[in-house]
Chains A and B, each alone.
Chain A
Amino acid sequence: MPSKMSWFNKEMIMQIVRSTGWISIVYFLGLLFILPIQLMMMYSEDRLPDYYKGESYTLFQVNFELQLGLLVIVPVILAVFLFRFLHVKQASDLMHSLPLKREKIFHHYAITGIMFLTVPVAVITLMILILRNLLDLGSLYSLEDIFYWAGTTIVITLLLYTASVMIAMMTGISAVHAVLAYIFLFFPVGFVLLLFYNLKILLYGFPSEFFLQQQLERMSPITYATSLNGRIFQWSDAIIYFILAVAFYLLALLFYKKRNVEQASEAIAFPKLRLIFKYGVTFCTMLVGGTYFSGVSNNNISWIIFGYVIGAVFGYFIAEMVLQKTWRIFARLKGLAVFAAVVAILVIGIKALGIYENRVPDLADIQGVQLTNEPYWIWNNAEPDEEYYRMKPLKEEANITAVRRMHQQILADRKLKHKKNEQTINYFVRYELKNGSSMTREYQVNERLYDDFFKSIYESKEYKQATKPIFKIKDSEIKSLNIRANGPMNKTVTLSNPEETKEVLEALRKDVLAESYEDSLYFRDRGSIVEIYLGDNHSIHSIEIKPTYQNISNWLKEKGLTDRVKVTGEDLSHVLVVKGDVSNSNDLEISQEELESKKDSLDIKEKRQMEQLLDATSAYDRGEYKVIFYYKFGDYVEIMSFDEEHAPDFVKRHFR
């Protein structure tokens, strides 16, 4: 009767349904309450959103936490229960004594599992479609939204499921299966994070911040799933996930065929994998130890090393305990010694050779260089305004040389200890080399130490044109301009005449080009603001008019606009100047009281002098003079500062 022995074994499917079908039912019931019933409830209570949001992921926003829970737990647990027969000796013996090929057993179990995951989603989708018609929800959820929900849910659950099925083949204990499956799913993200963080500790200049700008969460379906309620699941990602799911399925089959039945109840089913497991766990916990102690000890190197050692020892023993299935493994130290020796040799080798840390490319090899403290703008983020903010690489030899010299100086200064409370900033250097590769470094430095180097770079035309959005905005893109005074009263002028906007932009460009490095640092947040509205999707760029910007000031004067866009002496009732040590309190009230109580203060009511002060100050703490501007408008008060160099003569005279 060969016909009876067809590929499809009905009784086997029955057996699978009888033993694990409940998971599918629970999944279905879960989805039922989370989505259709919830939608009905929201409908009856009139809590549904009252307009179409135009986002495909709106269905994920309904009870998202619960959806996420099901999405992440059900597929993994399903695989654990389905393939439990591999992990129970007697069941495994029975299944493998039957006249059934392993492929056949595998496909029956794995495909039934896929049905368990997809059928509930399909039914729920159908129910939502029916609800959409019955309750007239067409204006809230489009057909595409509903199919987007179903498709995304299925692709992500399938990936989690097939990954878990593959892990089932690697182990012989169901509990270990579940744990390993989640570790495996989180591994790419977790490991990369750990690795970057630790390379930063190990290698001076390793640009971990820069790498972390990449969309790491995509690397794990679980971390990806956590943002499904606010981001679209891209086709490209879906295709990658699907290919991965197919790959895991086939790999699972391959491992199953290779797997020996007697490995039931072993933690790791393949002897060669045991070594990888053991040293993999040791390595990862070592990194965790180092990371933890670098965080809690404020980067104290002895504590970090202590963390590495403790982490490695813990990890090694835990892995041994899992593999040997006993906790009495403390005599098996040989492997740990070998591991420690290998790591020590590697680290000492890397540090001694210093190839990574000391490298500064030769001038002749460099095509271009970027230098910034904002890694976002180096990395190709798909931000809408990226094209305006992204720094173009510098190609002029003078600038490249200056960056190289600055880089070499930073390397020479690496032994410098940063003092407590010293303000540091993360600098990124990225060289584009002529051979097509690139080299990126990140350094935490006190910016002031490198002012000399940076001055020449900053003041170059090329640098300003490479970094400032104002040079990248085309005149034709501009829809309108707002020039707004930086004060409590509403002083704004809007320009939309292309002639005028063009003139403003030209004046600003000249001023920015002429600006010195010192001035760019000194003046912050006092001057009027020019807001540039672009035609496309309404993006805005703003630029501050600093007291040194002659061209724009003249233009405004010519047009008679100065008073309408700038804080002037007319706007102030009086100004108080105080010299000397003043606690740098953030609390405006206290600071104001403290300043007002000082004896030797200078109170100014004269218009011209007040305006002189407006042009000398910065919103940041700039020096020994503190100023309080009292506005006529409301009881508004502004506290700013200036230094000796910028102090007007009448102030100097008073405090002499």
Chain B
Amino acid sequence: MIEMKQVSKRFDRFQALENVNLSIQKGSIYGLIGSNGAGKTTLIKLLAGIYRQDNGDVMIDGTPVYENIGLKQKIFYIPDHPYVFSHYTTKQMARFYKNCYSNWSEERFEMLVELFEVNLQKKIQTFSKGWQRQIAFILALSANPEILILDEPMDGLDPVVRKKIKNLLINDVAEREMTIFISSHNLREIEDICDHIGIIHKGALIMQKELDELKADIHKVQVAYRNDVPKQLLKKLNPLHTEKRGSVSLFIVRGNEDSLAKQIRETNPVIFDLLPLTLEEIFIYEMGDIGYAIKNVVV
């Protein structure tokens, strides 16, 4: 289990993270969404044990990460721009990682190399950006980490490769209960593989939720009445958002689907629809004012 408690990090005059609390269960895929400069990379580097927090605790299975070699053996971090030693081939890089990570599996490495059809003898820096990223994934997965930390991993990959990698990741999560921490500036990129989502804005984690729970909990209601909308119903529903288009009213409401439907039907509307929300809509309505500020990351 990954835990961050009241974590703050400051770079000279710039407060990158402030009082971040976060917890991730083993085997889950956690997506961190935030615009550029929101603090995603800082948070990731704290998790990976690269940065040292100013305040608070960054713990995995109850022990601090920083300079903890036993823990770092279980973590693999792929930065937003994968970096390798200059003039290193995939084979040399693999040997280097093998020397560092005790769980390295040569078998797995060979299997992945075959799957992706990588030329082992070619210098990594001469590959295209997309290829370099695939090689980074191959190396990472060969190290059999318990926690995989990915900073903007899908950037620069074509849809086919994206699919391939996503499958591999999901496979590892299912088979080995690997935990994945993944960041993105765009929710759509990762919504299909994440089961948890956290949103970071200006150095603060403004919400984190399980995706299924989110979707089940919030609805769009379209109703029309012969007269006005009954005041009592409005009070009961307490909508997050209301809109009126002609005689049709639109509410965003929270609650159980069945009980909501029952309550509304009792007021005899002329028209009544209960619709699911897209993820983007959920975030925007859930977070009220801030929701608009971060619209660009969820749409």
Contacts and interface: CB of A to CB of B under 8 A. Distances in A.
B80 to A, nearest CB: 10
Nearest to B78: A97
A271 interface: yes
Specify the main secondary structure of chain B where it touches its partner: loop
A90 B79 contact: yes
A260 interface: yes
B49 A96 contact: yes
Contacts of A90: 79, 81, 83
Given A90-B79, A261-B50, A15 B85 contact: yes
A10 B100 CA distance: 10
Contact of B87 (A18, A94, A100): A18
A261 B72 contact: no
A271 B12 contact: yes
B83 A93 contact: yes
B96 interface: yes
Interface stretch (A1-9, A62-70, A157-165, A169-177): A1-9
A100 B102 CA distance: 12
B11 A262 contact: yes
B273 interface: no
A97 B97 CA distance: 12
A97 B49 contact: yes
Contacts of A271: 12
Contact of A10 (B51, B85, B99, B101): B99
Interface in B169-192: none
A101 B67 contact: yes
Interface string A45-64: 00000000000000000000
A291 B213 CA distance: 75
A11 B69 CA distance: 18
A102 B67 contact: yes
A12 B51 CA distance: 22
A364 interface: no
A97 B86 contact: no
B77 A97 contact: yes
A19 interface: yes
Contacts of B99: 4, 9-12
A392 to B, nearest CB: 61
A262 B51 contact: yes
A560 interface: no
A384 interface: no
Interface in A83-105: 90-91, 93-94, 96-102
Contacts of B48: 97
A17 B20 CA distance: 41
Contacts of B81: 90
Interface in B97-133: 98-102
B130 to A, nearest CB: 18
Interface in B208-248: none
B72 A97 contact: yes
Contacts of B95: 11
B19 interface: no
B145 to A, nearest CB: 10
A606 B95 CA distance: 105
Contacts of B88: 15, 18
A477 to B, nearest CB: 69
B79 A93 contact: yes
A67 to B, nearest CB: 32
A97 B50 contact: yes
B48 to A, nearest CB: 5
B73 interface: yes
- Most chain A CB inside 10 Å of its own CB: which residue of B71, B83, B84: B83
B254 interface: no
Given A261-B51, A262-B51, A99 B100 contact: yes
A10 B67 CA distance: 21
B52 interface: yes
Given A11-B95, A12-B99, A99-B100, A260 B85 contact: no
A28 B204 CA distance: 55
A100 B100 contact: yes
Interface in A1-53: 1-2, 4-5, 9-12, 14-15, 18-19
Nearest to A98: B100
Q: Which of B71, B81, B95, B99 has the most CB of A within 10 A?
A: B99
B45 interface: yes
A19 B85 contact: yes
Given A2-B102, A12-B99, A261-B51, A99 B83 contact: no
Contact of A99 (B52, B69, B98): B69
Interface string A259-275: 01110000000010000
B32 to A, nearest CB: 17
B79 A94 contact: yes
A9 B100 contact: yes
B102 A93 contact: no
Nearest to B16: A262
Nearest to A257: B67
Interface in B44-77: 45, 48-52, 67, 69-73, 75, 77
Given A12-B96, A262-B51, A19 B86 contact: yes
Given A93-B45, A261-B51, A99 B72 contact: yes
A282 B84 CA distance: 40
Interface in A308-360: none
Most interface-central of A19, A102, A271 (chain B CB within 10 A): A19
A102 B100 CA distance: 14
Given A4-B102, A18-B85, A260 B51 contact: yes
Given A99-B75, A260-B51, 5 more contacts: A4-B99, A11-B95, A14-B96, A101-B69, A271-B12
- Shortest 5 CB-CB contacts between residues of A and residues of B: A99-B72, A11-B99, A90-B83, A97-B77, A99-B73
18 contacts: A1-B102, A5-B102, A9-B100, A11-B100, A12-B99, A19-B86, A90-B79, A91-B85, A93-B83, A94-B84, A96-B50, A97-B77, A97-B79, A99-B101, A100-B69, A102-B67, A260-B51, A261-B51
Interface of B: 11-12, 45, 48-52, 67, 69-73, 75, 77, 79, 81, 83-88, 95-96, 98-102
